[in-house]
Amino acid sequence: MLMHSRSRRLLLLGAAACLLIPACSSDPREGEIVAECVSWSDLADPQTAFDVADAVIIGRPVASSGAKLMFSVDATVHEVDVVQIFKGEIDETVSIASTPETCTTGSPYPNGDPLETELEVLLFLTAPADDGIWSTVTPFDGVRYSDQGDQLPRSDLSHARPFSWNEVEIADDTHLRVTFWSGVDGCWGHDIEVDETTSAVTISLVTGAIPRAWEGCDGLAVEHTTLVEIAEPLGGRKIVDGNAE
């Protein structure tokens, strides 16, 4: 399960990675469309996704505007208003194809199109080829739900320790916004785990220091928020702090 939020520490490193590896495909037969199967690289780490993306933005989807053929599948194209640019050059409003999963039956988005949202989202994008339409880097890691002030989780923290969060609110059917205290951005970060059952959603938070970020850091405590994705709507399930005593 991916947890989604935002951090300006994404702007640090540069590295190369392969976005996809063709796994299985066959030649189209006359009059027949043959779907392609793609094995996607794991870009769950925000820094890796940032490094391989051609553009990284905060955007607000405003409308669906058609479809684009990707890997022999109709991918939905969305018009997105650009709120903030972290990397790349991009217009104020941009057409973005939501990269589809491949080798699926039925919908190209078995878990829902991640761009079908009214929330501001953090987008990792691949540049257009010749049609002017950008696309998300992978079906799984190209969209991260965000809002102004949310912090992205990260897995490279040092001196990490469990920490209780303060409160949680429902952002939409499958997203919860968690509020917690930690150190200042750029010095301290967090990671988060979610365990779901039919009766409860347990959210466990850890906080720790960002590697190589000690210079200029102090002990000031700051209130942060992070946006957490859950697999199913909360419904009548209770929300539990995994670190509560």
In a domain, 152, yes or no: no
In a domain, 120, yes or no: yes
Residue 119 has pLDDT above 50, yes or no: yes
pLDDT of residue 79: 97
Weakest mean pLDDT among 9-13, 118-122, 237-241: 9-13
In a domain, 151, yes or no: no
CA 20, CA 135: separation in Å to the nearest integer? 13
**Do 141 and 175 lie in a common domain?**
no
Centroid of chain to Cα 206: 19
Residue 169 has pLDDT above 70, yes or no: yes
**Do 214 and 134 lie in a common domain?**
no
CA 209, CA 160: separation in Å to the nearest integer? 7
What tokens were used for 199? 């009766």
pLDDT of residue 28: 39
Q: What mean pLDDT is reported for the chain?
A: 81
Torsion 136-142-147-149 (CA) sign:
negative
Residue 144 has pLDDT above 60, yes or no: yes
The answer to whether the predicted template modeling score (pTM) of the entire model surpasses 0.85 is no
**Do 197 and 225 lie in a common domain?**
yes
Confidence of residue 148 (pLDDT cuts 50, 70, 90): low
Assign 3-state DSSP to the chain and report helix, strand, coil percentages, each to 5.
5, 45, 50
Q: How many residues does the chain have?
A: 245
Q: Residue 119 half-sphere exposure, CB side, CA atoms within 13 Å?
A: 25
**Do 236 and 207 lie in a common domain?**
yes
**Do 122 and 171 lie in a common domain?**
no
User: Per residue in 21-60, pLDDT tens?
Assistant: 444 333 434 444 445 688 888 888 777 888 899 998 888 8
**Do 170 and 141 lie in a common domain?**
no
What tokens were used for 72? 């022999």
3-state DSSP assignment of residue 147: coil
User: Per residue in 192-240, pLDDT tens?
Assistant: 999 999 999 999 999 998 877 666 676 677 888 998 989 999 999 999 9
Residue 245 has pLDDT above 80, yes or no: no
120, with CB counted inside 10 A (0-12, 13-18, 19+), is buried
Residue 120 or 132, more confident: 132
CA 59, CA 148: separation in Å to the nearest integer? 11
**Do 119 and 184 lie in a common domain?**
no
In a domain, 97, yes or no: yes
Provide the 8-state DSSP code for 134: E
pLDDT of residue 183: 85
Residue 52 or 2, more confident: 52
pLDDT of residue 146: 57
**Do 119 and 223 lie in a common domain?**
no
Residue ranges of E strands in the chain: 3-4, 20-24, 37-40, 55-70, 73-87, 93-97, 121-126, 134-136, 143-145, 158-163, 167-172, 175-182, 188-196, 200-209, 222-229, 238-241
pLDDT of residue 27: 40
pLDDT of residue 97: 97
What CATH number has the domain bearing residue 94? Answer: 2.40.50
Q: How many folded domains does the chain comprise?
A: 2
> By residue range, what is the domain housing residue 183?
158-241
